[in-house]
Amino acid sequence: MNFDFNKDPFENFLKSIHEAEIKSQSLGLSNHNAMALTTVKDKQPSSRMVLFKGLVRRGFSFYTHYDGRKGLQIADNPKVAAVFYWPYLDHQINIQGQAFPLTEQESDLYFQSRDRLSQIGAWASDQSQMMNSRDEFETQVKFFENKFKDMKIPRPKEWGGFHIMPSEIEFWFQRESRLHDRFIYQLDGENWKRFMRYP
């Protein structure tokens, strides 16, 4: 473990995810940037994996359908939690905070960086809604492939990004016999309060 508790938490995070990227590539693994996102509606938590897409104004960004389950839950209650876990590094990062929509310009820019079929999928999928059959979805995909043939695909208005502005970031490192290390950053005004927790 090479962790400097005196550093800014985002500096430590960027170092961690860079190490995860290098290690995952050496192991032939994908999605080193996967994070478990938890939202809550009516006191019922709901979790799923999403892909972290970079720090935006010191917030952890990801993209989704605003009208899908997580988008609607965030609109109802923007308090969320997220976890990065890299078992090949014996390391996880736990985040608590609040999710805010990214700007339309930021969502447009990222949408245009996606591969074309992913762009089509954003139009074809009524995310989280009941689907009668796979054929129904594939028919929608073909419809939008034809609709946008030989043209630039615009971003659907109901698709875009969020960034999680953290109130707490925990860096967890596995040690033998479950004697783990837990380094906590808690936002206190504009500064970070630093302390450790028992494992």
DSSP state of 2: -
Mean pLDDT in each 10-residue stretch from start to end of the chain (199 residues)?
90 97 97 98 96 97 96 97 98 98 97 96 89 92 93 96 98 96 96 97
- Give the tens place of pLDDT for each residue, 137-164: 999 999 999 999 999 999 999 999 999 9
pLDDT the model gives residue 131: 86
As a whole-number percent, the residues of the chain with pLDDT over 90 amount to 95
Contact 169, 182 (CB under 8 A): no
pLDDT the model gives residue 193: 97
For residue 42, which phi and psi values (nearest 5 degrees)? 55, 45
Query: Which residues form the catalytic set?
Result: 178
**SS (HEC) of 117-166:** HHHHHHHHCCCCCCCCCHHHHHHHHHHHHHHCCCCCCCCCCCEEEEEEEE
pLDDT the model gives residue 189: 94
pLDDT the model gives residue 157: 95
pLDDT the model gives residue 1: 64
Number of Cβ within 10 Å of residue 183's Cβ equals 19
